[in-house]
A and B are shown apart, each in its own frame.
Chain A
Amino acid sequence: MTKIAKLSLAVLAIAGMSATAGTLQDVQKDGFIKCGVDGGMPGFSEVVGGGVYKGIDVDGCRAVAAAVLGDASKVKYVALNAKERLAALQSGEIDLLARVTTWTHTRDTALGLNFAGVNYYDGQGFMVHKSLGVTSAKQLDGASVCLQTGTTTELNVADYFRTQGMKYETVAYDTNDQVVQSYDSGRCDVLTSDASQLYGIKTKLTHPADNIVLPEIISKEPLGPVVRQGDDQWFNIVKWSFFAMVEAEEDGITSKNIDSLASSTNPKIKRFLGTEGTLGANLGLNADWAYQIVKQVGNYGEVFERNIGTSTPLNIERGLNALWTNGGLQYSPPFR
């Protein structure tokens, strides 16, 4: 009996191993995308009442769901902290990581991941209590710094203080919430994180007006969606889902006017909407993949304004994230 059980176990295991197909097939079979997000970062991915997720990272996941499954709501969100996010992606627990992850050389090569674009060009900054009377990061010699462990933040702070010849005391926590709480209670003088997160964190403090964000940006933090290596088709799908949103903004297509453009004779718009050409089939998707993205989620500008733009509490200017035609860095390769 034991022998038979063992033999059958072995056969099942081998069969299971060979049954792994691409992520696209798995997603279509499951009927939803497993998306790793932060869950507590205002503007990027946070839970707003009733288990609903909101943010530009969340909208990135929704865009991929709209393209692949035709329904932007078919996403299962997994909240991950900085330490577990890459392992969750590597192990297959999630299909797509949209969690303000910086595109670095090490992550792209040694960790077996692929970055499918940059949805937010960011940089690391410092926030200090106004009562310290500090106006520049160069005056922070001897300060104690609260940060989240397992992030590029830790490394950048070490590099910065080393090159400036200043000393600092690092207090590294697991969760962002504890970082904010410790900074708020005065355990450390400085809170360092990506500048975009600093604006969100400031709204969560007990006295936001008693804190200032210092002017120095000490690093490049290109944040974007991440997928596993070894699955080129899925990589292309995620990449071009994001580019679709940027291209839509460049072409003036919004979620509001996209239906009225169905009758347009502009070949660029026709290729985008799928009425001409095979762009959808090339990716293994339906012809209206880009139409679904813009109709259900919006173009890049709409997503930006809705979540972190000037009308939101975060009040972030487009800056580097404007289209290339407006002096920014967002640029989509042509849809042909």
Chain B
Amino acid sequence: MLALLRNQKVRGILFQILTIVGVVAFLWYIGLNTTHNIEQRGIKTGFDFLSGTAGFGIGESPISFHESDTYARVFLVGLLNTLIIGFVGIIFSTLLGLFIGIMRLSDNWLIKKMAATYIDIFRNIPILLQILFWYNMVISMLPSPRQSIDFFGIIFLNNRGFLIPRAAMNSTTISVIVSLVVVFISLIFLNKWANKRKEETGKDFPIVLFGFGILIFFPAIAYFIGGGNFNFDYPHFQSFNFKGGKSISPEFLALTFALVIYTATFIAEAVRSGIEAVSTGQKEAASSLGLSSYQALKLVVLPQAVRIAIPPIINQYLNLIKNSSLAAAIGYPEIVSVFAGTSLNQVGQAIEIISITMLVYLTISLVVSALLNWFNYKMKIKEK
């Protein structure tokens, strides 16, 4: 028996089995202990609460929400709000981050210093403080609804939100949206065809000009075909506040702004590290081949830089999504605030609710990283 234990392979297997048994036993024990304690304290368990009436209102929601809706709907509203912030935040922080990152590498001393200062300031202040700062500044500096700043009488800005006219969902709007989608898809195919033609014949195709042209032309035709009338719902002032139109709340604006500014610093640094990692030999070779600096950037440097920059950028996207959970401090009703906050307090079942919320964040993060890993794979330099 002892001789068997002296065998390294056997020992290895034995310890692995013991560890697995130990971990499982530990988790089992934790589960039993938790359920025992919950029963002892008279706290309810189970997921029945999801069909209970919420009884409270939610400040802003992309879908309709009424106080008599269920907690399941509360969950849905919170989830949608989180996704909206994540989506908008990711887009703008990428654009800003790219811009700042390239600025940081400029030869112009002032631009380089400005970008470096921006990064140093906004990277080092905790995100919660930034969110609170922008929010309180926004609501204390903007005027009250009665003294709104107005643009042409149809767009208003006050401390309750940014109000724009809303187009009704009629035939005109739908046909314009459809035409935009068609233009977008056809531009992708057109780009592929133009590249192929360039490779085969060397002839340039003015894709950018052409693209702008049809981007304006087709939706315009669709507008007239669809009836020529958006039926705008204009915001108008009434008793306390504006009614009608689409309003973007200061909570959303402040949260997005703070998250974008904060995350862009990290993305800028990732972009910079990616570009600097491409050896100067590549840039010199590109210019010796006669490529302009824009062509060199697009065809030689960026494809290699992006491969290096994408994994840290994935991290920053996930951080942005998770940082949006700080919205509770300023009253934006995303999932942590309405579901793991208000609902948890009213229902009391902490374990079920927090587990669901953690699962949501886990799923969103896994989906985002899967998408970006696919994108990374596509950006691989193709061997011939």
Which residues of chain A come closer than 8 Å to B241, judged between CB atoms? 142-144, 169, 189
B136 and A158 within 8 A (CB): no
Contact check: which of A112, A142, A170 meets B57 at CB < 8 Å? A170
On chain A, the residues within 8 Å of B55 by CB distance are: 155, 158-159
Once the chains are docked, how many angstroms separate the CA of A170 from the CA of B251? Answer: 12
CB–CB A154/B56 < 8 A: yes
Chain B nearest Cβ from A156, distance in angstroms: 9
In the complex the two chains form, is B345's CB within 8 Å of A230's CB? no
Instruction: List residues 28-69 of chain B with CB under 8 A from any CB of chain A.
Output: 29, 33, 38, 40-44, 55-59, 67-68
Min Cβ gap A51→B in Å is 24
Kindly list chain B residues whose C-beta atoms are within 8 Å of the C-beta of A159: 55, 67
Decide if B85 is an interface residue (CB 8 Å cutoff).
no
Name B329's contact: one of A90, A151, A174, A185 (CB within 8 Å).
A174
Q: Are A142 and B240 in contact (CB under 8 A)?
A: yes
Contact check, B159 vs A110: say whether CB atoms are below 8 A apart: no
Is B201 at the interface (CB under 8 A from chain A)? no
CA distance A144 to B159 in the complex (A): 11
Contact B160 A144 (CB under 8 A): yes
A157 within 8 Å of B (CB atoms):
yes
In the complex with contacts A2-B18, A185-B140, A172-B333 CB distance below 8 A = yes
The 0/1 profile, CB within 8 Å of B marked 1, for residues 156-176 of chain A is 011101100000111111110
Which of B103-111, B215-223, B290-298, B336-344 is near enough to bind chain A? B336-344
- A175, B41: Cβ atoms closer than 8 Å: no
Whether B342 lies near A189 (C-beta < 8 A) is no
Tell me which residues across on chain B come within 8 A of A150, comparing CB atoms.
341-342, 344-346
Given contacts A154-B56, A159-B55, contact A181 B136 (CB under 8 A): yes
The stretch of A25-33, A66-74, A81-89, A285-293 that contacts the partner chain: A81-89
Complex: A240 Cα to B251 Cα, angstroms: 46
Size class of B's contact patch? 35 or more
Q: Quick check: A143 and B240 within 8 Å, CB to CB?
A: yes
A83 contacts B43, C-beta separation under 8 Å: no
Cβ-defined partner of B22 (8 Å) among A6, A181, A187, A189: A6
B326 CB, min distance to chain A CBs, angstroms: 9
In the assembled complex, the CB of B192 is this many whole angstroms from the nearest CB of chain A, namely 48
A128 (CB) vs chain B CBs: closest residue = B240
Produce 1/0 per residue, B66-87, CB < 8 A to A.
0110000000000000000000
Contact A175 B329 (CB under 8 A): yes
With most chain A CB atoms within 10 A of its CB, the pick from B57, B344, B347 is B57
Chain A residues with CB under 8 A of B59: 169-172
Output the least CB separation between A129 and chain B (Å): 9
Q: Are B57 and A149 in contact (CB under 8 A)?
A: no
Question: CB within 8 Å of B: which of A86-131?
Answer: 86-87, 90, 106-107, 109-112
Q: Which 9 A-B pairs have the closest CB atoms?
A: A150-B345, A112-B42, A111-B348, A112-B41, A158-B67, A112-B43, A154-B56, A185-B140, A187-B139
Q: Which residues of B contact A3 (CB under 8 A)?
A: 18
Question: Closest residue of chain B to A186, judged by CB?
Answer: B144
Does residue A182 face the partner (Cβ distance < 8 Å to B)?
yes
